[in-house]
């Protein structure tokens, strides 16, 4: 089942999210780039990582913007237009243009044909054009975000005021109702996420501190998957937190283990130095084991089952308003009047 979000709660959440993203991006080093792996052909410049981090950190606003559009009775796909526009501009300006410039100098130095350079410039122009078109669509998305929500329940769920169980606190209004997710969609997301990470890691050097951001889709899918089995999101949060702190503790822990457990032999140093890695792997495999369990039939405390919610959404969207039912003949059947009642009412003035 989809859920809704009011205007005030959404704009508070959006402002806080943008401020946090701006603070994180400003605190990052200026030369934070992903160097491409050395190839046998063209040397390419490093890929700027700040736009990618900013885009990933803004995804919560995209999810909340989808709920805001649902509150106004609109489809949620409009909320992803600003993200696509930002991705087009960032790709054209920060990634594609420097690469094409360096490739042009390389092609000129090695006597290569200019056809590929011209094709690359056409691709950059196409990205800019798509970005401009999507920027126009962004204005429409912002306009839809400013529209008032439906006062009554609509096909996306109850009104936001009726979904708050702890008063009207704005923080509670911001919390998303995650719902439930079946096994097949969850494993599709996990496999695609893993394959995308492996393909990206083969092309660029990804710092270990940023690897955890690339697994955010799997974490976001694990939470409703655990809800489908009747469990809380604690196992997913624990596995994600351990994986996040592992890159920061791995180096110091290995150094400490080498100094402390060296007299006990190589085995003790290995287990001590890789303690966080071992714990992270155990937590991850335990999480995958829980996500493999079948979901609870019917509804539970986290909402309807995935199949029931899909059927309800389909029926709600496809149902058309029907004319009111005609009164049946039984409505017009008068009660039998006895002779005594007719005599008593005879001659009385009607009220």
52-62 pLDDT per residue, tens: 777 777 888 88
Q: Give residue-wise pLDDT tens across range 193-228.
A: 888 777 766 656 666 656 666 777 788 888 889 988
Average pLDDT over residues 314-334: 48
Query: How would residue 66 be classed by pLDDT, with cut points 50, 70 and 90?
Result: confident
Domain ranges of the chain: 1-176, 178-314
| Total residue length of the chain | 351
List the structure tokens of 333.
Answer: 């059947």
pTM: 0.45
pLDDT higher at 166 or 303: 303
What's the pLDDT at 346?
45
Average pLDDT over residues 320-328: 47
**Residue 146 contacts by C-beta under 8 Å, 6 or more apart in sequence?**
7
Q: Give residue-wise pLDDT tens across range 124-181.
A: 666 667 767 777 777 888 888 888 888 888 877 777 764 444 333 344 344 445 578 8
Alpha-carbon distance values, 282 to 44, 277, 279 (Å): 38, 9, 5
- What span, in angstroms and rounded, lies between the C-alpha atoms of 42 and 38? 9
pLDDT higher at 244 or 308: 244
List the structure tokens of 8.
Answer: 């005030």
Average pLDDT over residues 315-337: 48
Residue 96 has pLDDT above 60, yes or no: yes
What's the pLDDT at 163?
43
Q: With 0-12 CB in 10 A as exposed, 13-18 as middle and 19+ as buried, what is 101?
A: middle
Three-state DSSP at 327 gives coil
Residue 184 has pLDDT above 80, yes or no: yes
Residue 323 has pLDDT above 60, yes or no: no
Q: Determine contact, residues 183/23, Cβ cutoff 8 Å.
A: no
What's the pLDDT at 87?
76
What's the pLDDT at 192?
85
Residue in the structure block whose two tokens are 């029926």: 315
List the structure tokens of 308.
Answer: 């029931």
Q: Determine contact, residues 280/239, Cβ cutoff 8 Å.
A: yes
Residue 303 has pLDDT above 80, yes or no: no
Query: How would residue 290 be classed by pLDDT, with cut points 50, 70 and 90?
Result: very high
- What span, in angstroms and rounded, lies between the C-alpha atoms of 91 and 269? 45
Average pLDDT over residues 262-289: 70
- What span, in angstroms and rounded, lies between the C-alpha atoms of 63 and 179? 13
Helix locations, the chain, DSSP H:
7-27, 50-57, 59-71, 81-90, 97-109, 115-145, 160-163, 170-174, 183-203, 208-214, 216-228, 234-260, 266-273, 275-292, 306-318, 339-345
List the structure tokens of 194.
Answer: 């893993």
Average pLDDT over residues 290-294: 91
What's the pLDDT at 194?
82
Average pLDDT over residues 228-245: 84
Average pLDDT over residues 285-302: 88
pLDDT higher at 323 or 20: 20
pLDDT higher at 50 or 170: 50
């Amino acid at each position: 089942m989809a859920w809704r979000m009011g205007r005030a709660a959404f704009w508070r959440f959006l402002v806080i999210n943008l401020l946090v993203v701006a603070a994180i991006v400003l605190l990052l080093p200026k030369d934070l780039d992903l160097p491409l792996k050395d190839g046998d052909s063209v040397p390419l410049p490093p890929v700027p990582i700040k736009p990618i981090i900013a885009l990933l950190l803004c995804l919560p606003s995209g999810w909340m913007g989808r709920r805001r559009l649902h509150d106004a009775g609109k489809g949620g796909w409009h909320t992803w237009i600003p993200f696509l526009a930002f991705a087009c501009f960032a790709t054209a300006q920060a990634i594609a243009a420097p690469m094409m410039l360096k490739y042009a100098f390389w092609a000129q130095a090695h006597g290569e044909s200019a056809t590929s350079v011209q094709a690359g410039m056409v691709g950059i122009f196409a990205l800019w054009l798509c970005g401009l078109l999507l920027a126009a669509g962004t204005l429409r998305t912002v306009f839809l975000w400013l529209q008032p929500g439906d006062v009554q329940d609509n096909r996306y769920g109850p009104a936001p005021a009726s979904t708050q169980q702890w008063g009207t606190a704005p923080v509670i209004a911001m919390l998303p109702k995650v719902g439930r997710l079946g096994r097949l969609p969850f494993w599709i997301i996990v496999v695609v996420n893993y394959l995308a990470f492996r393909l990206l890691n083969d092309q660029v050097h990804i710092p270990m501190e940023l690897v955890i951001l690339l697994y955010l889709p799997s974490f976001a899918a694990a939470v409703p998957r655990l809800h489908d089995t009747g469990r809380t999101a604690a196992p997913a949060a624990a596995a994600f937190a351990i994986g996040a702190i592992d890159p920061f503790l791995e180096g110091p822990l290995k150094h400490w283990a080498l100094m402390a457990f060296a007299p006990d032999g190589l085995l003790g140093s290995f287990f001590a130095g890789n303690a966080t890695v071992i714990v992270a792997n155990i937590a991850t495999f335990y999480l995958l084991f829980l996500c493999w369990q079948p979901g609870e039939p019917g509804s539970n405390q986290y909402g309807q089952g995935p199949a029931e919610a899909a059927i309800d959404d389909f029926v709600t969207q496809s149902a058309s308003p029907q004319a009111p039912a005609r009164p049946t003949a039984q409505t017009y059947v008068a009660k039998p009047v006895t002779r005594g009642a007719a005599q008593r009412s005879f001659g009385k003035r009607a009220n």
